[in-house]
Amino acid sequence: MPMNALLSVSDKTGVLELAQALHALGFGLLSTGGTAKLLADNGLPVTEVADHTGFPEMLDGRVKTLHPKVHGGLLARRDFPEHMAALATHDIATIDLLVVNLYPFEATVAKPGCTLEDAIENIDIGGPAMVRSAAKNWKDVAVLTDASQYATVLAELQATGSVSQKTKFALSVAAFNRISQYDGAISDYLSSITDDGSHAQFPAQTNGRFVKLQDLRYGENPHQQAAFYRDLHPAPGSLVTAKQLQGKELSYNNIADADAAWECVKSFDVPACVIVKHANPCGVAVGANGLEAYSKAFQTDPTSAFGGIIALNRILDKDAALQISKQFVEVLMAPGYTAEALEVFKSKVNVRILEIALPPGGATAWDKGLNAMDIKRIGSGLLMQTADNHELVLADLKVVTTLQPTPQQLEDLLFAWKVAKFVKSNAIVFCKDGMTMGVGAGQMSRLDSARIAS
């Protein structure tokens, strides 16, 4: 039985090369609209879906593939004789490989000035319907919803003449995930529209969509199971984009502490270092370079810094690495490392070294990597708020005392304010000359926090 592939994509990245390879393997090619034109213009024998079904596109292209000759070819079980007999009776060919990516709804609504009409016209109907049909019948149909899947499928076809059941099942899961994400984005957008046509900050319904990065050995405690997830579209320069260069597997607590350290160090434009224990900064400092910033941060509380999480917002060089290597470190984070710095830690194989790429714009563009929302889980619900991205500046301060602070004291106050944002309440931060002198955290009494900080 001849093999057929249906290709209908909005993002045409790699689709021509895929179609050429499928044609070389003997696949018949079906396609629609712009995809069909691209293939035909490049000399490939392609049948328009309208010719395949005998029914023309209608309603300005809104109805193209919603036809039994398409969905019958996707849904028919090859191991059910009655299904195959029905196909023969109605002259329906099987479709063995489906390549579909959807109208760019998410990209459309992200554009400034997007209207409701623009959004509605970018809600795909036929694409998701085909994807669902193919994904349901995964044992017989391979469904590709992203260009990153093309190479894997082609490699299997070229090596064995077919796509393995394992790969087809994985493609089916990915397809249903994509449809869920797509429908969730539509639901979020439409749910945010108010009676006057504006968009509410918090939609009437929200659909959390996250991708698992890895399973973790256990959670906060050994009896808890855990996994690490990221947003579908993570902010640049955030922890979930980190590349681990060496060291043991990250634990749940490592990740929680690392995020606290990284978010804190990102708030400084000048070279800075943050040392965290149990999600609280125990030393923070700025300096002329990483070595100076680390040395000052470590001086705050050398005892608590033992086994700490260290984050720097500049590339780590050999001098700073040599100094840091003198203490026990659980996790070290920086935007990059010199080769000499990495060599210093080669013998310390358990140290988890993370490299987190700077957001576009470099070391002074951390504002491009800010989270938009903070979410806190409560029993059977969520608390959502806009992220605390406000940066206090000198003009915001009002001196109400007779004694006027010096410019250096005002600078230190702004520094302490940045640090206090990341300290658990009650939070007290003492600082001087761009370094913390003491940090008091998590006490029921602010007096006790002050005593601890002192």
Does the annotation mark 233 as catalytic? no
In single-letter form, the type of residue at position 334 comes to A
Closest CA relative to residue 320, chosen from 341, 350, 343, 297: 341
Active site residue: 23, 83, 136, 348, which one?
A: 136
Residue with tokens 């045409």: 12
Contacts of 437 (CB under 8 A, 6+ apart): 300, 430, 431, 453
Give, to the nearest 10 degrees, the angle between helix 33-41 and helix 15-24.
Answer: 60
In single-letter form, the type of residue at position 126 comes to G
In single-letter form, the type of residue at position 25 comes to L
Active site residue: 12, 278, 318, 424, which one?
A: 278
Measured distance between the N- and C-terminal CA atoms of the chain, rounded to whole angstroms: 81
Tell me the two tokens of residue 278: 């149990």
φ, ψ dihedrals at 128, nearest 5°: -60, -35
Does the annotation mark 67 as catalytic? no
- Residues 137-166: b if buried by 16+ CB within 10 A, e if exposed: bbebbbbbbbbebbeebbebbeeeeebeee
Tell me the two tokens of residue 238: 């955030």
Which residues does the annotation mark as catalytic?
136, 278
